[in-house]
A and B are shown apart, each in its own frame.
Chain A
Amino acid sequence: MEGLFVGFTAITWKQLLMMAVGGVMIYLAIKKEYEPALLLPIGFGTILVNIPFSSVLDQVEGGQTIVGALSLFFRAGILTELFPLLIFIAIGAMIDFSPLFRKPMLLLFGAAAQFGIFFTMMAATLFGFDLKEAAAIGVIGSADGPTSIYVASRFARNLLGPISVAAYSYMALVPIIQPPVIKLLTSRRERMIRMDGAQKTISRTTLVLFPILVTVLTGMFAPTAVALIGFLMFGNLVRECGVLKKLSLAAQNELASLVTLLLGITIASTMTADRFLQLSTLFIIGLGLAAFVFDTAGGVIFAKAMNLFLKKKVNPMIGAAGISAFPMSARVIHTMGLKEDPSNYLLMYAVSANVSGQIGSVLAGGLILALVK
């Protein structure tokens, strides 16, 4: 009979607090629709792993280890980097690179808007994190959950929980984070700049060759980035080849849904009270916000700098869309443009910059892996 109450007698206030954190995540996912596909599984998983002696985690009984399902998923899917890579196939299959061909110059914004990653990495070192941990925290600024998880699983497994939660939470908060930063850095006149570009058709050969060439080119310079960029581009090749329509749709739908589900609940296995309730978690949450702010600032300031040399000015807000949060960031920029001038349609350009941000964020993750020793 005693065994029945073991949960009640063993539970600590920290575990109860973590269950409440899980509850808040579920609330945000359902009520506010903040990244529900991730926050709901993470939230529920957080409750699961904070129940004393939970069988979803490895438990030792009589000297024998009883394997827990989430611990097993963690070892098989996160430590091997399998889940994030599978997600990249799905994301690749969802990306349409053709807007980039219409305005290739916008690719540069995909680089500039990764500044937050590096700024945050530097800031994190000042808070006492070692270089690898700081780099993993910085990658929250990639605005790309799988990249954050991938880098954190290599560099800072102990921080995987808070990094994932921060990454996905701030991605959902892009419509709140970006507008004030953009307004602070631009004048109304700049926000009203119109952009023009010709509509043109892109050949299938071009769309098929692009992912292959990008993979080879990146791989030759930064082999450590091959897994990240390669899986993303593989997914895109499946989409664009035109002969794997079923597989492309499966990658975009079933694969994405299934792996997202597993990824979320598996990440939750790191959300135990003893790991999560630490001062470092607060720092990570704060630094994650800084990463998104400085990404946005990096993109806007770069666009303003470009305007010093360009005859046809670029709307500097487009620079902010160079982050990877797709299509949320593009929508934010488009809406801001419409507010200043209801006849100024920036969506196409913002989408181009946003797509380049998706390449940039994965590339930045790969470069971090290559450069941080």
Chain B
Amino acid sequence: MSADGLCKRIIPCLDVAGGKTVKGINFGNLREIGDPVELGRFYQEQGADELTFLDISASNEDRSTVVDLVRAVAANLSIPFTVGGGVSSLDLVKRLLENGADKVSINTAAVNRPQLIEEIAGTCGSQCCVVALDVRRSDGKGLKRRVGNGGENGTAWEVLIRGGRVTTGRDALDWALECVERGAGEILLTSWDKDGTLDGFDIELTKIFSQRLSVPVIASGGARDPDSFVEVFQDGQADAALAASIFHDGMYTIGAVKDQLHKAGVPVRLC
């Protein structure tokens, strides 16, 4: 497939709560970073291939602002735009898409009610249905899985929900395979061991999932520097990589990451 022109995607992620952008270590100690509309445009101009918005509002009252925010951000974007966080009904999915989201990302709600994946895929198409998995390394013992999936070579991951606060006892690879069977168009795979650590992506996790799943895998958690992106694409075989802190804090621009990828021979969209 070396002749493929398909580019590896760099996706900055904006965590929002109550209409503002936030990002903190392991989702604790939130601090405000900026206006999501401005940040969206800023990243588009920097060469972002897509933008993801995760609403991590604690209350339903704060969460109700998300549709307005999506409309304002989307009006200024000419790149794909994914929205997630607290999305638990087909009705909300439709409202988000009508207001300018191109894809929705679902997480806890899919674990609680897997039919939601089929409802979204069946009504709006698989292309707009991203299932997000927060996963943590496990010895694999006692994890629930269907026959024949997961736990290869004693390496396993467990699915976490509710922003990583609740364990499910479910084998993550098995769950990801089920999501794809139900119609997920992409898998956003966040390593809970790496998220917020600036320690590099979990390469083993990304590689195993990328090889086993027939849909794109977006690697997330641990982005450190441009070389960490080279690793997650070349060794981890990810289709896309998502990051927040290293871009928000101005450590690296998206352009700097893409230059490094291009030098290493990874196909990227050069602006």
Task: State whether these chains interact.
Answer: no
Residues of A within 8 A of B (CB): none
